[in-house]
Amino acid sequence: MHSLITSARAATRVAALTAPLVLIGCGLRVGSSASPNAAVQMANPASTYCVQQGGQLRIQKDAVGNESGLCTLPDGRVMDEWALFRRDHPAVE
């Protein structure tokens, strides 16, 4: 019985010492191509909505270099992409 208790204590010590190392190791990514500071690329919801409505998206730049999207709808109307999105997706209060 004494050896069983000693074995159980030894196993508990080994587990207590190795568990943090395993957890630290799980957080490391060897050879990962993603940079920790890499930006997540997500689709612009207004642009996506324009295309889903059958529209054609055109990005234009102003004199300062600011970009805005214009959506040409199937019926020929041209709307700012965000105006279209907000019109059809009103904010819920």
Considering the domain boundaries, does residue 75 fall inside one?
yes
Please enumerate in sequence order all residues whose Cβ is within 8 A of that of 88, keeping only pairs 6 or more positions apart, or say none: 49
Considering the domain boundaries, does residue 5 fall inside one?
no
Domain count, the chain: 1
To the question of pTM greater than 0.75 for the whole model, the response is no
Full pLDDT tens readout for the chain, 93 residues: 556 566 666 556 655 556 655 556 666 555 555 566 777 788 999 999 999 999 999 999 999 999 999 999 999 999 999 999 999 999 877
pLDDT attached to residue 3: 64
pLDDT attached to residue 22: 54
Q: Which amino acid is at 60?
A: Q
Separation between Cα atoms, residue 87 and residue 93, nearest integer Å: 15
Can you give the residue range of the structural domain that contains 54?
45-88
Considering the domain boundaries, does residue 63 fall inside one?
yes
Considering the domain boundaries, does residue 66 fall inside one?
yes
